[in-house]
Amino acid sequence: MKRKSGNLRKGLLFISPWLIGFVVFTVYPIVASFYYSFTEYHITRPPVWTGLENYKSLFHDALFRKSLLNTLYYVAGHVPLELIIGLFLGVLLVQPLREIAFYRGVVYFPSIVPKYAFAAIAIWFFNPYVGLVNSLLSLFGISGPMWLSDPKWTMPTVILASLWGIGGTALIFMAAIKDVPKELYESAILDGATKWQMFRKITLPMISPAMLYNLVMSTLAALQTFDLPYIVTSGEGGPANSLLTYVMYLYRNGFVYLKMGYASAMAWLLFLIAAFLTLLIFRLSRRWVFYYGSR
C-alpha cells in the first residue's frame, strides 16, 4: 500500500510538466472562453455579462455564416482529395522500383515547406495574366480562369494548392500498405484473384485504421484552415469574402476588432462542431474500419 501511494506521487511528479500545462493552457482556457462567450469583452476593460447576446448576433451575422460555409466547402473539397490522392500516392510509393526512395523524398518534402512560403509561390504561380499555370493552359488553347481573383475560383485554387502538402498522409498510407501481411496476397493469388480484387478485398480493409486516422486528422486540420487563405488574401478574405474561413473570421473578431467575447463564442461553436464531426466519424467508422487480429 505504501509502495502504491509512493508510486502515485512519483507518477504525478513525472507527468507534472504536462499536468501543469494541461491546467494552464487547456482546462483554464476552455472554461474561460466559455465564460467570455457570454460577455462583451474588449481586452482593455473587464468583461461585462450579456447572456446569450453573442450567440444571437452570430446567428444574424452574414459574414459568420459565409465563413462557416466557406470552411465547410474547403473541408468537403480538401479532405476527400487528400485521402484519395494520398492513397494513390501511397500505392505508387510501395512499388519495388530502384529509385523509390527519391520519389518518397520529393513527395514528402513539400509537406514540410511552410505554408507562408508556399502561399507566396501560389500567388505567383496562379497569377491570371503572367502566371505559369495559365501560360501552360494557353499552350493547349485553354484560356485559364482568374484563379485567386474570381470569387467562384478562389476556393478551388486554394484547395488545389493545399494538395501540395499531402506528402505526410501519403507516407502514412504507404507504411500501412507495407504492413499488410504478405501471406494474404499469396493465398489470394493462388485463388486467381486479380490485382484490383486484391486491392479492394485485402489492401483497403487492412489499411482502414490508417484511413480513419488520416480522415480524422485531415478533417480537424481542414476545419481550422488559416495560413494559406489568410496569406494569399493579405488577411482580407479575398474577393466577395470567398476565402474568409472560420478561424480567419474568429481571428479578425478577436485580434483586429478586439471583440474577445464574440470571438470566444465562435471558438466554442468551433469546439462543438469539431467534437460533433469527430464523434460522427468514429461512430460511422464502426461500419468500415477493420482491425486485423482483433476478432
Site for other proteins in 95-124 (CB under 8 A): 95-97, 101, 103-110, 112-124
Q: Is residue 69 near other proteins by the rule CB under 8 A?
A: no
Q: Is residue 164 near other proteins by the rule CB under 8 A?
A: yes
The correct pick among 33, 157, 162, 218 for binding other proteins (CB under 8 A) is 33
Q: Is residue 135 near other proteins by the rule CB under 8 A?
A: yes
Question: What span, in angstroms and rounded, lies between the C-alpha atoms of 162 and 235?
Answer: 17
- Please state the closest distance from residue 86 (CB atom) to other proteins, in A: 12
Contacts 24+ apart (CB under 8 A), 152-157: 152/242, 154/238, 154/239, 154/242, 154/243, 155/70, 155/73, 155/74, 155/77, 155/242, 155/243, 156/77, 157/122, 157/126
- Please state the closest distance from residue 132 (CB atom) to other proteins, in A: 5
Maximum separation of any 2 CA atoms in the chain, in Å:
81
Bridge partners (DSSP) listed for residue 42:
259
Q: Is residue 222 near other proteins by the rule CB under 8 A?
A: no
Bridge partners (DSSP) listed for residue 259:
42
Any idea which residue has 482502414 for its cell?
208
Question: What span, in angstroms and rounded, lies between the C-alpha atoms of 208 and 16?
Answer: 36
Q: Is residue 280 near other proteins by the rule CB under 8 A?
A: no
The correct pick among 52, 132, 280, 284 for binding other proteins (CB under 8 A) is 132
CB atoms within 10 A of CB 77: 18
The correct pick among 53, 213, 239, 285 for binding other proteins (CB under 8 A) is 213
- Please state the closest distance from residue 283 (CB atom) to other proteins, in A: 15
- Please state the closest distance from residue 181 (CB atom) to other proteins, in A: 15
The correct pick among 74, 147, 153, 268 for binding other proteins (CB under 8 A) is 268
